[in-house]
Structure formats: C-alpha cells, structure tokens
Structure 1
Amino acid sequence: MELLAAADEPSPCEPGFNSCTLLWKITGNEALSLDTGVVLDKIGQVLLIILAASLLRWIVNRSIARIIRQVTAVKGPQPIAELAEKLSASAGRRMEIVGDRSAKRAETLTGVLQHVSGIIIYSIAFMLVLSAFSVNLAPILASAGIAGIAIGFGAQNLVQDYLAGIFILLEDQYGVGDIVDVGDASGTVVDMGLRVTTLRSLDGTLWYVRNGQIMRVGNSSQSWAYVVVDTPLPPNADVDTAGDRIQEVAEAFVEDEAWSDYVLAEPEYLGPVEVTIDEIKVRLGVRTTSDKQWAAGRELRLRINEALREAGIVDPNGTGRIYVPRATAGGDDGAA
C-alpha cells in the first residue's frame, strides 16, 4: 500500500526517465531516490564516455591501419603537378637503394599513429568525465597552457627527441623489425615512438634510445646485404688451391635450391686481403637479401670449413695443426 501511495505522490525527480525516477517508483523514498539517483546517473555517464572512447579508438585504429597500408603500398608517387614529377626521381632512387619497405614502414607508422590517437581520444574522454562531475575545465586548460609554455622552454631536449622521431618516420630511416646500429646501442627495433626507440640487442638487453641523441644510423635490414667471409690460412698455404675450393663451395651454394632465391649476384672471390707473419686471410663476398645475410654467412663458413678439411688443408682430427698441400717439385705435402 505504501508503494502504491508513493506512486500516486508527485515525483521529486527531474522530468524524464532517469535513475532517480526509477528508484522513486521502486522504493518511494525521496532521499534515497535523489541521492542514489545522482550517483547512478554520474556512473552511467562515465561508463558511457569510456565505452564511446574505447569504441572510437577501435574504429580509429582500424582506419589508421587500413589507410597506412593503402598509402605505403603505392609503388610510386602520384603524378600530381610538377612537384610530384620532381619527387618521382628521388623516390625511384630510394627504391633502388633500400628496396620495397612498405610492410615495415606501414607497421611502424601504424603503431606510432595509433599510440598518438589513443592519447588524444582518452585525454578528451578524461575531460568529458571531469565535466560530467561539474568540474570547471577553463582554469585547468589555462593552467595547462601556461605550464606547457614553461615546460617548452625548459624541455628543449624533449622537443628535440620528438622532432627527430618525426623525421626518422618521414625519411623511413628504420622501422620495427629492422636490425640497426645507432652508435651507443645496436640490435633489433622492437618498438618505435616519437621520443624513444627501443632495441633488443643480441644478448637480450633492451635498450631505450632517445631519438634526439641518434647522430647516425646503420640499418642492416634495408634492401640487400653483402656477406663477407674471411678465411685465415697458414703463411705457407697454397693460396690457389684453397681459393679453388672456396670458389667451388660458393658456386655450389648459389646452385642450392634452399639458398638460390636469397643470392642476388654471383659470389666474388677476392683472394688474399691480409698477409701477416702468422696467416694469410682470403675473402669471399656474396650479395644476399638482407633478411638472410647472417644465416648465409654461417652456412658458407661451415661449407668452406668442411671443404678445406676434405682437401687436407684443415686437420680433420682437430689437433689444431693445419695441413697445407703445396705443389712442390717432389710432390710432398707441407705441414704447419
């Protein structure tokens, strides 16, 4: 009966359907309906803002990924007026130098832009949450502007880092997955932001390098690589015999179906490149794709070592002695 009587009384809540009206219809308690209704309405607004921000970020991230993939997949600049014609020559030369890097560039740009868009979206959502609780944003924004000016004067290194990061992205100096040497650190790029580049070195160390401190970059993952295999020989070795064996190994390597797709040019046997009292160093060079340079180098060194063992140049018993077949008058083999 009390509930029915309360239902007949005029509602203390604001007109329209809200939490206060619902609680008033259920409980008939004016204080509970007003206080709890306000709290529930605020919570509902906050949840709606968070849900809208999350949905918007998901849509923006998908849109960024699709747009970047389409833009970076273009193989040449669009023929727009004279500027595009001037840029086409530069783009063509860059394609010849570094090859097709659309996939890695798309991954790097997508990650950075998604990170920036996430910060913007959630910052706006945070301000909307504050406004839902009737917080005056004008003083906060004014203070943030003044603080931003002060920080800008005192954080020149931070600005330098961001500007350097922007130019690294625009010039595509490196991207996620590339193996680079940035001076103080080297390794695989695992993450890249506008301020910091994160590298994973060969020993597993994670390096955080400020973009503004990168003075030069050596990228081992762009276009092709030149694998240099140096083989030390004893000073009394028959260099011609060893060179013949190394050339045979290189030719067999190129003809191997497992490696032929990764070899871009005929191997170059350069002969002796260093002669000391202790050894003669001969060199073999092979141009390969950048993603297989280290694997190709290991495979070539293994095959050259086996070939020299079979030729008797390297002791198969592993005693450390090197047997060197020499073309002497008596036909004897020399040993070192």
Structure 2
Amino acid sequence: MFDFLYLHLDTLERLALVAIVVAGAHLAVRMVRGASERLMARSLDRSYSKARTVNSLATSILVFCLYFGALGWGLSELGVPLTAYFASASIIGLAVAFGSQGIVQDVMTGLTVLLSGQFDVGDMVQIGDQAGIVQKIGMRFTVLQNAMGAQVIIPNRSIGNVTNYPRGYVRIAADVTLPAAPERAAEAEAVTRAVTASVSEQFAGIFRAPSEFVGRFTTSSGRTYFRVKFRIWPGRGGPVETAFKQELMQALKKIDPDYADWMVSVTYEVEKPLPPTRKGRR
C-alpha cells in the first residue's frame, strides 16, 4: 500500500512539474513576443530594417522551439521516450507536409524573402494589388499596413511580383506654366499654392509627406513654370490627377481665359530629375 501511495505521489509530482514547465514555456513565449513587439515598435531608421526583419522571423522560430521543447520534455517525464516523440513528430510533419503543401510554401517563401533581401520590415511595397508598409515578415504570413491603417495579411506563398518603393512614397510633380506678364505670373503662383493647400487638406489620407513648392524653372524654349511636388501612397494619385488639376484650371482661367489644359502637367517621377535652369524661387 505504501508503495502504491509513493508511486501515486511521484506521479502527481511529475504532473505538477510538467505543468510548471509548460506554464513557464508559455510565459517565456509571451516575454519573447513582448520583447519582439517593443523592438518592432521602435522608430528605427532603414539601416536597422534587416535586423527588424530577422527579429520578426526569428521570433516565430523561437516560439515554435519553446513549445516543441516543452512538450517533448513533458512527455519524457511522463514516460514517453524522446525517440518515439521525435519519430512521431517526423511522421506527423511529413503527413502535414503532404496534406498542407501551402504551409511549406509559406515557410520557404518567407526564408527566400529574408535571405534575398527583396524587402525588409519598414519598407513601402506593393505585392499584387496590395500596397503598404511592411509590419512583419513571419514564417507563414507577411503583414502590411495600407493607406487606411488596416492590416493586410498576405500568405507568403502568394508573394510573386514585388514593387519596392525605396523612398517610402510615390512622387508626383505638377508643373504649372506661368503667364508672361509678371503680375499674372505672381497671381498664378499664389493660386497654385492656395489650391495645393486646399487639396492637401481635403485628401490628407493619400499623402505621405507635406507638399513641396519647389519653385520656378525656365525651359530652353523660354517657357517658365512653377513646380509643386506631392508625395503619396502608391496607387492613390487620382485626386492629384483630377481634383487638383480641375480646381487649379478653373482658378487659372479666371486669371487668363486663354489658359490651356496642356499648361498644367501632372507626372510621376521615378528618379530625381536634373532641373532646368532656375529663374528664381519664392
């Protein structure tokens, strides 16, 4: 009878120890995730983007290892040989791999993205029809934050063509041809500034940075124009192409009824251009 009680108490002790270890592993996982989130929340510059990307993927791997190790140790304490545990895990892993090839593709694509440096955490990218800032690169999913502040969760296997915006925005240049008369030119410039401010307030959600009044330029043919630069989210240039241009044209035609549509151009810039000869800046 005493032997039975001893064995019973020994089993209870083992169960209690297993429960403590499993609870400790869960607490360690929460601490790891908390530390990772604090690191990701820090406003680091682009020189740390690779470290943040590695941190994101390493966290997922570490969490898996903690749970896997705690479960294996707990089973060994209950009398299950580790060889049987690893063999079972291998068999289950193969079965899952054959039955869930998408998961394997997610993991392999995530590793490929990390090692090839296609993009890092903090980059502005467009994956398919989704554009946003990379928040996390995990073992299975990549998370973007789009222009509306929503999180877009993309399975890694869906990552195909990727457009990376190194500056973090798309740049639009609006060139407004100025009348030859100095008074009308000054009035046209003032109107352009006012319309730019109005559109920036009305469509604040599409802009990544404040609008910039670059100044006046003169072409080789003698035409003078005033340039405004917008920095916007990818794919959100519609208001600049339509609302800004239409409102500006109406205001400019009040100054000069002969003002033509071609005299206001809206173009997307890929690289920083070399500006023509500057006539002056106001």
TM-score computed with the length of structure 1 as normaliser: 0.49
In structure 1, what is the Cα distance between the partners aligned to 2:121 and 2:95? 34
Matched residue type, 1:48: I
Counterpart position of 2:89: 144
Give 1 or 2 for the bigger CA radius of gyration: 1
Contact 1:189 1:197 in 2 (8 A): yes
Offset from partner CA, 1:244-289 (integer Å, 9 cap, x none): 5665567898xxxxxxx96789468799xxxxxxxxxx9956275x
Contact 1:221 1:291 in 2 (8 A): no
Are 1:182 and 2:154 an aligned pair?
no
In structure 1, what is the Cα distance between the partners aligned to 2:240 and 2:129? 30
Counterpart position of 1:38: 10
Contact 2:191 2:252 in 1 (8 A): no
The 3 A distance-change label for structure 1 pair 228 and 67 is: closer
Q: CA RMSD in A?
A: 5.3
In structure 1, what is the Cα distance between the partners aligned to 2:18 and 2:192? 67
In structure 1, what is the Cα distance between the partners aligned to 2:214 and 2:235? 15
Contact 1:127 1:137 in 2 (8 A): yes
Higher-strand-fraction structure: 2
In structure 2, what is the Cα distance between the partners aligned to 1:191 and 1:269? 43
Q: The residue matched to 2:160 in structure 1 has which SS?
A: coil
Q: The residue matched to 1:109 in structure 2 has which SS?
A: helix
The 3 A distance-change label for structure 1 pair 312 and 184 is: closer
In structure 2, what is the Cα distance between the partners aligned to 1:192 and 1:129? 31
Counterpart position of 1:133: 78
TM-score computed with the length of structure 2 as normaliser: 0.56
Q: What is the count of residue pairs matched by the alignment?
A: 239
Unaligned runs of 5+ in 2: 197-208, 220-224, 260-282
In structure 2, what is the Cα distance between the partners aligned to 1:36 and 1:262? 72
Matched residue type, 1:195: R
Matched residue type, 2:82: L
Q: Higher relative contact order by CA 8 Å / sep ≥ 6: 1 or 2?
A: 2
CA positional deviation for 1:118: 0.8
Residue identity over aligned pairs, in percent, reads: 24
Range with bigger deviation, 56-65 or 192-201:
56-65
Matched residue type, 2:12: L
Counterpart position of 1:197: 142
In structure 2, what is the Cα distance between the partners aligned to 1:182 and 1:292? 11
Offset from partner CA, 1:296-315 (integer Å, 9 cap, x none): 997999887776665553xx
In structure 1, what is the Cα distance between the partners aligned to 2:116 and 2:38? 21
Contact 2:178 2:188 in 1 (8 A): no
Are 1:113 and 2:58 an aligned pair?
yes
Contact 1:112 1:194 in 2 (8 A): yes
Matches within 5 A, 1:198-277: 198-201=143-146, 207-220=152-165, 222=167, 225-229=170-174, 240-241=178-179, 244=185, 266=214
